Structure 1
Amino acid sequence: MRHFFSTNQLTTEEIYQWLETAEAYRTGKTSWPKLDNQFVANLFFEPSTRTKMSFVVAQRKLGMDVLDFHTETSSMKKGESLYDTAKTFESIGANLLVIRHESDDWFNELDKKLSIPIINAGSGKTEHPTQCMLDLLTIYQEFGRIEDLEIAIVGDLKHSRVARTNALSLQRLGAKVYLSAPEGFEDESLNLPYLSIDEATEHMDVIMLLRVQHERHIVQSKTENYLNRAGLTKNREKKMKPHAIILHPAPVNRGVEIDSELVECNRSRIFKQMENGVYARMAVMTHVLQEWGKI
């Protein structure tokens, strides 16, 4: 594997292997490698809190030197291309690039053109593989399996890279995946059954909520009464199965896709997902660097 652009690059066995590595790092059963001689650059061209900072924490736990990059003070402001920016970091000694960009297929511009590995930290509306890995880890921790679980992905499917990546990966791992979205937020490219929000909350093992992605809407969608129409209210949460859990990639629009009081309720694993993000990204980076013979 030259780069990690998509979970589709991994076999199901490799997905579980990477999850086991992440869990071993989290529990201390396996010590992680010390990469004191490795330089990494996080090139984020979209706003990010959780993904970027969990990568930074993961990199520092691994002992990597993190190269500073901010779009607002970079030569991108002078018209430099993504390729030239990435090539610059390769030229000055970066051993790994982590990139998030608003383009759906930015990685095609870089694939086979750089001699260092690249990890996709988010590409437009199409892929978010490291978010998928931490979501899979959270589900696996909870149930000890993914196969045969009933999982609903709920919300702004049309504009969500998380929905697409997770739906396809969960399906490959044997989960029974369903979709739920208000009118105008559906993703017709995903060939999966739809449920109403009430059906989803009553019958699923996992409710995976999505943020309304206003920044990707060509025409701004109205979210008045969204919570009652399509979100997770307190009344709906009461009807969930006793063991069912709530996931959300965050940031959370409290009171829009989920009632604010449910963000930290007993069912919620939202902040657990954030914790798992550090270890999942440590595992991704170590496996990718191992593929390149850097560890």
Structure 2
Amino acid sequence: MNKKPVLVYGRLTDDQLAALSRDFELTRFSGTDLANDPAFHEALKDAHGLVGGASLSVTSELLNMAPKLEAIASISVGVDNYPIDELTRRGILLCNTPDVLTETTADTGFLLIMATARRAVELAEFIKRGDWKTSINEAQFGSDVHGKTLGMVGFGRIGAAIARRGALGFGMKILYSNASPKPELETELGAERRELDALLAEADFVCVTVPLTEDTEKLIGAREFSLMKPSAIFVNIARGKVVDEPALIAALKNGEIRAAGLDVFEQEPLPKDSPLPHMNNVVALPHIGSATTETRNAMAQRAVDNITLALKGQRPINLVNEDAWRNT
């Protein structure tokens, strides 16, 4: 019996590759421009499965090259680089890895809250420059995190995990918006639901965890920053395009908000001419939300499990487009 061809363009361990090879015919690809790689195009003709990260945007053109494609296992939680409706129409299953990265990404979100509030990166550079010559004074003071109000824009798995750290670990008051009512979390964390404008006006920390969709693109812009307190700290671990980046830069420069902690950007990698990493009131990280060895291996394993189940005719563990499964 011939093995179904599967194209792998994400990071898998040797053991994971060996496991896939037992069931499928693997072809591995690397590089940052697969969409324009003739060898990748040729391999798509016979591919039944794809396993890779969010670095490749799957387009209609690529799908037209893959008439036998049955399933895609994305090593990511975000799926904004996939045409979900078109995949469903074509009967192609799309799988992701939502639950295995929740706690690690929440750690990153709370790291940004702490680092911006206490000015950790700025003051570490202060020492490196040799500027620590006397006791620090008000010019170097940060702000407390404990007891403050944390506003979560988005309250899914990751948003709830960040809120849990704030409420249970730091005694923070939790507000949330852009999510359906969460009575269980309201009971557990004392969280209160607000309309977005009210949350922005009340929160000391505004943390964005919504997925990128047509409705959330540029959700936070100049008007929204103007509603925040001048002492507010803004944190984004969702997607860069959820924020109007020029408006964010202006708000930081003009003192409309105090600081920002950012793990995602409108363009990634961040362009060299971006002012954001050079601003003292910004902590900028290179999209490391889930970037630990343990979590990335767990994400890759979930993708392996998803593609294996899908190509054997069984329901994957994490399925994005349920309608494609119902119609198989």
TM-score by length of 1: 0.44
TM-score by length of 2: 0.40
